[in-house]
Structure formats: structure tokens, C-alpha cells
Amino acid sequence: MLIGNLIGVLPGLGALTAISMLLPITYTMKPVAAILMLAGIFYGSQYGGAIGAILLNLPSHPPHAVTCLDGFPMTKAGKGGTALGITMIASFFAASFGITVMLFASPALVAIAFKFGPAELFSIMLLGLLAGSTMSRGAPLKGLAMTVFGLLVGTVGTDVNSGEMRYTFGFIELSDRVELVALALGLFGIADFLMNVNRMHTVGSTMKLGYKEMRPSKAELKQAFWPMVRGTLVGTLFGAMPGTGPTITTFIAYALERKVSRTPERFGHGALEGVAAPEAASHSKTQVDFIPTMSLGIPGDAVMALILGALLVQGIQPGPQLITEHADIFWGLIASFWIGNVILIVLNVPMIGVWVKLLQVPYRFLFPSAMFFIAVGVYSTNNSLFEVGEVLVFGIIGAIFVALDFPVAPILLGYVLGPLVEENFRRAMLLARGDMTTFLQRPISAAFIGLSTALVLAQLFFAARRALRKRPAATPANPALSEPVAASED
Amino acid sequence: MRFSLHAIPKDYLASALMVLIGVGATVKGTSYNLGSLQRMGPGYFPVALGVLLSLIGIAIGVVEWLRRKPVEAGSAQKAAAHPPEWRGWICILGSTIAFIVLGHHAGFIAATLALVFISALGDRDNSLKDAFLLSIAMVVICVVVFSWALKMTFHLFPWG
């Protein structure tokens, strides 16, 4: 957890990098401990990200970009400590709420989930993949392309049904699938360094922060209370929807806060509400995100995909059976999430000065050290140097994709879900004797397909509307094709 | 790769790359048993994905083409945000390759030393001395944490 906090504070290393770097260590742990650690890293890095955003105007990962808008002006006005304090309270409140929702929603979801056959599972995964690829940052088409690429990467290795080697190009090491850690570290570690080397310059800051500065006054607490609640609700709502990224959630929470505020002009100049709401949203979303991951086995975003991958390595198949068969794991997890959040607060109050210092470690020392941890971490997954080569290859691929404005996170989602999608598609087809309409004939499955269609249509609609507004004179040749263009421009 | 290809809009390259990967996957995929929709062979799903990816790739290209057409005349290509960073790239890639090669033949101490030293040199602000000190520090961590504390199995020396 501490490590997560540390990595989260460091600019440029997001939760994804942190989790993938520590993934190998969890392989030797007991399942609950492993998930706990990963979740801890996740919370930690999320919280750490807020510190960087507020104090230095450096969002270490995108969801915190919104926090910068008002957090950094607060720091400039000498209220950075208060902003951090509010962030902490807001995230704790939101996480507690999210955990409560999880407590009640999961068993209900499981009751439904037991009715799921291969067709339903395929449909809901389709929805998740579509949502994940079109609602992340960047052009929807490109997100979709990356998802399909991820699915393809997921097919590398031995085919479960026939035992045939696919896309291994003669490498015996590849018959056991592409290593998850190597893929993640290549895409989010090495690719990142390739893009940022000699381009990152750490901003110095001489901040002194103590406990006193962090305690918000009563008036400030009151001011932040409703934004916090609203942010939490936004986060919960979006967390329940598979595939909506945390960045979108925080932006919506911020926008909502500005809408309901009686003094919207203060936003962007250090409004406390502008810090509390998005931070609360991102934390409650994180919690609620675990619901589909644990009860259906369908991760909402790339981070959840990593955690799902870690569970699979542990021999635990998340899904409706998890809660009935491994009840201890499930409830242990929920309890520990809350404890984790408490510990995080306890740790952070005295440590804050240390984090601020760490922010000043220059990138030129940071990235070679991280390179080393990546290399050793990947090696340790299988005690083989072949995986180090895999990291390198995916690093290069990732850097090329990023240079071409592709979002890389959907690759991971596709990779983790790939085998499940294929397996369930095959089974559904087998059961339905090759009749594709089975996905529409079964009511639950049809509902998911309907949602997927609605999602695509909504994208087309918004894009077409935007295109029309932009060029009132010209008639768009085909709204379907102008769609990603409009979306890519924001 | 776009660095020598600046004149071409990014999205055309993106499109071409996706089509390339898609077609490649399809061609390779057809060498596996396809099977039927009811009883899918190992090749069915990959081929479907490959075709899908190619189509998406084409769509990206078409969208870009539609978008650019109206402004063809005055379309100023956005200048690349950053100049190519050959030194950083070569050092990062080279250091990883060095790690693999040395890890095979010369043990982990040499491999770690090379990895950190070479990648540190990728950053222009690092002097030889800085890079060397950093790599020594990492070797110490490697030995103490990974070999001694976590008991990871690797050879520290070629003869270890």
C-alpha cells in the first residue's frame, strides 16, 4: 500500500504502472493478501495522484487532471493543505459509500448472474468491450481498434479446445499465452519512458506541510459536504456501468458541481467544491467498479482488468461462483477494502511531507531505476528472460500506438477478456447449433445487445450533431463515418 | 516511424498499421483449422478478429479522408509536438537488450549494471558519473532485496 502511494505520487507513473510493476510479487502470495495489496496500491496511487495534482499541478494520471483545475490555484493561494485534507475526507467518505453499495448490490447481482449462460456472458462482455473502447479518451474508432488488437493478443498461445498453437511463430514460450505482466509493463512502462525521455522536467517546490494545515475548518467542511455527496453518487452510478473510465467520471462530477453552484465563476480559481466532488467521484467509482469485476468476472477498465488477471493467476475465476464458493475471499476483500482506506488516511497524514519531497526526485534518476524494476519484475514472473523480450516488444508497439494517438488501455481490457469472449462465443454457438440469433432470443442477452446498440447509436448521434453544428452549410456525407472525427476533437 | 513520414497525416499511418496487422492476423489465422460456425476451429475467432481489425483500419482512413477534404487547401499539418529523441530511444531499447544478453551469459550483476547505466545515459541531463552511481545503487538493491531478501532464483555471477 505504501509502495502504491509512493508510486502514485511520482509524476508520470500511474496506477496501471504501479500495479503491473508489483503484480509479479503477488504471485507468491495468498489470494486475499494479493488482491489486498493490489487494491492498496490502487488506492494509494490514486490518492498519491491527487497530491501531485494539487501541489504541483502535475496530474500523474488522467482522472486527476480535473483536480488540478481548482486544487493548484488553492495551493497558490496558500490553501494546498486544506485541499489535501478535503481530498482525503472526500475519498474516504466516497470509498465507504462505495463499499456499502458493493455489500448490498453484489449478492443481488449474483442472483441474476446465475441465470447467465454463454450467450449472456458473451453479450455482456461485448457491451463491456464496446463501452471500454468508445468511452475512453480519444477517438472511439481508435479505441475499438485497440480493443480488437487486445483480443488478438489474447488469442496467442495454445487453443484450449484443440491444443493447436496460434500465433506463436515458433516460440515455445508463447504457447502459454502472452505474459500479462509483460504486456502491461511494456504498454504502460517502457512505452511511457520512450515517449517521455528528455521531455519530463520536474518542477521544484518548496512546500512545507503539516497536520495543522491539512485540517479544514468547519465552514470549509460544510462547503465541501454536498459536493462530496454529489460526487460520490456520480461515481457510484458510473462505476456500475462497465467500461466508463474514471477520467470521464471525474469530469462529469466537476461539470455537475459547476452547474449547481451559485457562484460558478469561482471554479478554476481554487473552488473547494471543484476538488471535493471529482475526488469523491473517482474513489466511489473505484469501489463500485469491483462489483462487476468480482461478481461477473467482467472488468470495467484497464486497472480492473489487471486485478482480474491477477485473480486468474491465483486460480480464482471471478464470477457468480466466487461469492458462493470462495465466500471467505469475497467478504474478506470487502472488509479489507474498508480497512485499507482507514490505513491509507492514517499513513498519509504524517507522511505527506515525505511525499512532497519525493515529488522532487528528478525523472533522470527515476526512469532508469524503474527500468530495472520492470526488468526484474517481469523476469521473476516465470524466471525467464524471454518475458523481458516481450516487454521490450510491447513497449515499442505501445510507443508507436501512442505516437499515432491510439489509447492503449483498451488493449489490456481486450487481452484479459479475449479468451473468455472466445470461449463463451464458441459455447453459445455450439448450444445454438450455429444460430446467431440466439443472442437476441434470450431476454437477458438481448437486453445487453440492445444496450450495446444504443451505445453505438448514441455515439453516432452526438457525433453527427456536433458535425452538423460545426459545418452548418455542408451536409455530412455519412454521419456514421464522421462520428469519430467529431469525438476526437474534444 | 512517423518521424520520417511527417508529411503523411497521422491517421493515415494509423489506418495503414491497423490494416496491416489485421490482414497479417487473417492470413496467418487461415492456416489454422477454421471449422464451422457451429463447431468453431482454432482459426475461426482469430480470423474474425483480423477481418474486423482491417475494416476498422479502413474506417479510420476513410474518416480522416472525409475530414480533411473540405480544408485541403489550407490544411497546415500540425507540427510534431516533439522532435525525435533517438538517444533516449536507443538507450532504453539497448539497455533492455543488454539486460537480456548479459542476463543469459554474465549473471545479474552485470546485467543490472548495464541496464541502469545505459538507460540512465538516455537522459541528456545525466553525466557518466551520475549514471554509474545510480547503477551501482541499483545493483545493491538487486542483491539485497531480490537475491537476499526475496530469494529470487537467478545467477548473480556467470559462475554462480
Which residues in chain A are contacts of B5 at CB distance < 8 A?
none
Residues A187 and A67 in one domain: yes
| Single pTM value for the model | 0.72
| Confidence (pLDDT) at A475 | 41
* Cβ pairs bridging A and B (under 8 Å): 195
In the three-class reduction of DSSP (H, G, I as helix; E, B as strand; rest coil), residue B95 is classed as: helix
Q: How many domains does chain A have?
A: 2
Neighbour count for residue B31 (Cβ, 10 Å): 10
pLDDT at A14 (0 to 100): 56
Q: Which residues 48-87 in chain B show a CB within 8 A of chain A? A: 49-50, 52-53, 56-57, 59-60, 62-64, 66-67, 70, 82, 85, 87
Together in a domain, A174 and A235: yes
Question: Which helix (DSSP H) or strand (DSSP E) does residue A165 occupy?
Answer: strand A165-166
Same domain, A435 and A446: no
Count of C-beta atoms within a 10 Å radius of residue A226: 14
Is A353 in the same domain as A486? no
The mean pLDDT value of chain A amounts to 71
Tell me phi and psi for residue A281, to 5 degrees.
Answer: -60, -45
Task: Please tell me whether residues A320 and A437 are part of one structural domain.
Answer: yes
Q: Calculate the average pLDDT of chain B.
A: 75
Please give the full DSSP string across A316-375, using - where no structure is assigned. ---SHHHHHHTHHHHHHHHHHHHHHHHHHHHHHHHHHHHHHHHTTS-HHHHHHHHHHHHH
When CB atoms are compared, the residue of A194, A395, A426 closest to B40 is A426
What's phi and psi for B40, nearest 5 deg? -75, 135
Looking at residue A177, what DSSP letter applies?
-
Do A398 and A471 sit in the same domain of this protein? Answer: no
Q: Is the domain of A454 the same as that of A433?
A: no
Q: Name which of A437-441, B36-40, B81-85, B103-107 the model is least confident about.
A: B81-85
What confidence category does residue A12 fall into, taking pLDDT thresholds of 50, 70 and 90? very low
What value does the CA radius of gyration of chain A take, rounded to a whole number of Å? 22
> Phi and psi dihedrals of A61, rounded to 5?
-140, 155
Query: Domain check: are A44 and A186 in the same one?
Result: yes
Name chain A contacts of B150, Cβ cutoff 8 Å: 25
Residues A114 and A258 in one domain: yes
- A116 shares its domain with A207: yes
What does the alpha-carbon distance between residue A134 and residue A142 come to, in Å, rounded to a whole number? 8
Please indicate, yes or no, whether residues A454 and A310 belong to a single structural domain of this protein: no
Q: Do A384 and A464 reside in the same domain of the chain?
A: no
Task: Please enumerate, as own/partner, the contacts of B134-137 that have beta carbons within 8 Å and a separation of 24 or more.
Answer: B134/A365, B134/A368, B134/A369, B135/A368
CA end-to-end distance (rounded Å), chain A: 35
Please state, in angstroms and rounded to a whole number, the distance separating the CA atoms of residues A68 and A70. 6
Which residues does chain A have within 8 Å of residue B13's beta carbon, measured at their own beta carbons? Answer: 404
**Contact indicator for A21, A318 with CB cutoff of 8 Å:** no
Contact residues, chain A, for B70 at CB < 8 Å: 471, 474
Our CA-based measurement puts residue A42 at a distance from the nearest CA of chain B, in whole angstroms, of 23
Domain boundary among A441, A459, A478: A441
Domain that holds residue A36: 2-441
B100–chain A Cβ distance below 8 A for any pair: yes
pLDDT, tens only, A467-483: 666 554 444 444 343 33
